[in-house]
């Protein structure tokens, strides 16, 4: 929940009653007043109890919509990773309202089958929770990073391969998408697709390692889902892609909900009851002014578009509710020159030289790299530009090996600004 000092208008731009964060990566011991106590809001946090600085979600609720109960989805969450937070709200009708803030595990069958199975189990348990609440006459709004692409147009890569029947069949039939579509078809309406059923190139997440945001080569995996009976309540839903600083961007939805009744008793799970937190509450604008310090000097939420989305600047009525959720923190980045040897590169070169000497092979090449640094990067075949040096991080026989690839960001094929297929190993 950090914003550049130049983006002071973001809080006014959102003007939301409920703000949901995913992957907060914060433990209770790290929580301070600046984050927990925000003027006009009650804050609730679900922490990972198994890993410090991992996962986690947080929900900020306007005091005029104070929930009467909060749960952490113990029957859904995996290994207490802090991925579920449910706030319950009374209404003037016979049905109550539950807002589920969820951060679904990221897992792919081809990479980590155990993690993928945990993701499937999460969807199954989440669907059971939704059904149980419906049986209790509780309407459910589900928001968050659900880590699944529902449609081909929700993935730049998939949309490029839409004419490949084998790819499309395998893509549609993957177990996570089947489970998600089943849950959605039975219980929910996707606010964004309800208003924009065929809109393409509308993504909420981009691979920062591949600089994919430059060419808008991303995925839409962040959702605001409402009960099917809420069709008439959906007034607005847009992806705020102009808000930068993270690999995700916010999704803002405006719902015409006028029957929520604030609880007079604040639930004990609220951060205002944490004895370790002392001091005065902060203003919402100060929460969104905190600066993320990166090696490259970039700021979080550095909005490049000052134009306010439709209906957002309009004053909200006393009982009208808006939901939005925010992007994750951007990992620190380092900009390096190809012509300078840095300590980690020296260490890597020494390791190569040591191994080469022990094998009595390639001694001359390794020693030369140690003394003179890395060779001049080759030009990529597609653009004739200096290539970028990368290191294999995935487990396997090639882990740790270095290679050259096109330095441009990944993007749609055929686009002149997209990365070409150039590849060359540095270490033979």
Separation CA 250–CA 248 (nearest Å): 7
The SS3 of residue 349 is: helix
Q: Which residues contact 84 (CB under 8 A, 6 or more apart)?
A: 46, 57, 72, 73, 76, 77, 100, 101, 102, 103, 126
The pLDDT assigned to 66 comes to 97
**Per-residue confidence (pLDDT) for residue 372, from 0 to 100:** 53
Contact criterion met (CB below 8 Å) for 425 and 403 = yes
343-359 and 363-372 helices cross at what angle (nearest 10)? 160
Q: Is 145 helix (H, G, I), strand (E, B) or coil?
A: strand
- Does the predicted model carry a pTM greater than 0.85? no
pLDDT of residue 186: 96
pLDDT, tens digit, 9 for 90 and up, residues 336-379: 333 333 334 333 334 343 333 344 444 444 444 545 567 788 89
Classify residue 401 by burial, with Cβ atoms within 10 Å: 0-12, 13-18, 19+.
middle
Report the C-alpha gap between 83 and 72 in whole angstroms: 8
* Predicted pLDDT at 388: 87
Backbone angles phi, psi at 278, to 5 degrees: -120, 165
pLDDT of residue 283: 58
Q: What values do phi and psi take at 22, rounded to 5?
A: -125, 155
Give residue 110's pLDDT: 81
Q: Which residues of the chain have pLDDT under 70?
A: 1-13, 77, 79, 279-373, 427-428
Listed residue (420, 343, 336, 338) closest to 376, CA to CA: 338
* Spatial separation of the C-alpha atoms in residues 46 and 80, rounded to whole Å: 9
Three-state secondary-structure class, residue 176: helix
Q: Token pair for residue 304?
A: 């490049």
Pairing of strands 222-227, 138-145: antiparallel
Instruction: Give the chain's largest Cα–Cα span.
Output: 81
């Amino acid at each position: 929940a950090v914003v550049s000092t130049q983006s002071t208008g973001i809080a006014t731009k959102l003007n939301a009653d409920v703000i949901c964060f995913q992957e907060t990566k914060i433990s209770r011991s790290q929580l301070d007043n600046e984050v927990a106590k925000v003027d006009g809001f009650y804050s609730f946090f679900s922490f990972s109890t198994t890993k410090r600085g991992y996962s986690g979600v947080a929900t900020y609720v306007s005091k005029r919509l104070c929930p009467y109960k909060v749960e952490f989805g113990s029957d859904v969450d995996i290994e207490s990773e802090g991925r579920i937070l449910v706030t319950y709200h009374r209404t003037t009708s016979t049905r109550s309202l539950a807002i589920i803030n969820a951060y679904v595990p990221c897992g792919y069958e081809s990479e980590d089958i155990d993690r993928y199975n945990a993701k499937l189990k999460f969807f199954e348990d989440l669907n059971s929770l939704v059904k149980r609440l419906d049986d209790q006459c509780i309407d459910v709004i589900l928001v968050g990073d659900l880590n699944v692409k529902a449609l081909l147009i929700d993935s730049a890569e998939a949309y490029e391969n839409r004419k490949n029947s084998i790819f499309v069949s395998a893509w549609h039939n993957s177990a996570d998408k089947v489970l998600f579509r089943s849950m959605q078809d039975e219980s929910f309406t996707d606010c964004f697709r309800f208003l924009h059923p065929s809109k393409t190139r509308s993504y909420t997440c981009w691979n920062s390692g591949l600089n994919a945001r430059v060419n808008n080569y991303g995925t839409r995996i962040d959702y605001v889902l409402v009960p099917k009976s809420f069709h008439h309540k959906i007034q607005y839903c847009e992806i705020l892609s102009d808000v930068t600083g993270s690999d995700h961007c916010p999704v803002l939805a405006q719902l015409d909900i006028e029957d929520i009744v604030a609880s007079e008793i604040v639930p004990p799970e609220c951060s205002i009851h944490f004895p370790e937190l002392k001091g005065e509450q902060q203003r919402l604008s100060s929460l969104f002014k905190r600066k993320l310090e990166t090696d490259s000097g970039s700021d979080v939420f550095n909005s490049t578009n000052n134009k306010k989305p439709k209906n957002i600047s309009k004053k909200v009525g006393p009982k009208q509710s808006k939901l939005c959720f925010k992007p994750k923190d951007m990992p620190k980045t380092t900009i390096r020159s190809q012509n300078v040897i840095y300590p980690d590169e020296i260490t890597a070169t020494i390791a190569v030289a040591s191994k080469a000497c022990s094998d009595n092979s390639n001694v001359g090449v390794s020693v030369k790299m140690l003394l003179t640094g890395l060779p001049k990067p080759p030009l990529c075949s597609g653009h004739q530009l200096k290539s970028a040096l990368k290191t294999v991080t995935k487990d396997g026989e090639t882990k740790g090996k270095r290679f050259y690839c096109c330095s441009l960001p990944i993007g749609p094929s055929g686009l002149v600004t997209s990365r070409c297929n150039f590849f060359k190993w540095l270490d033979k």
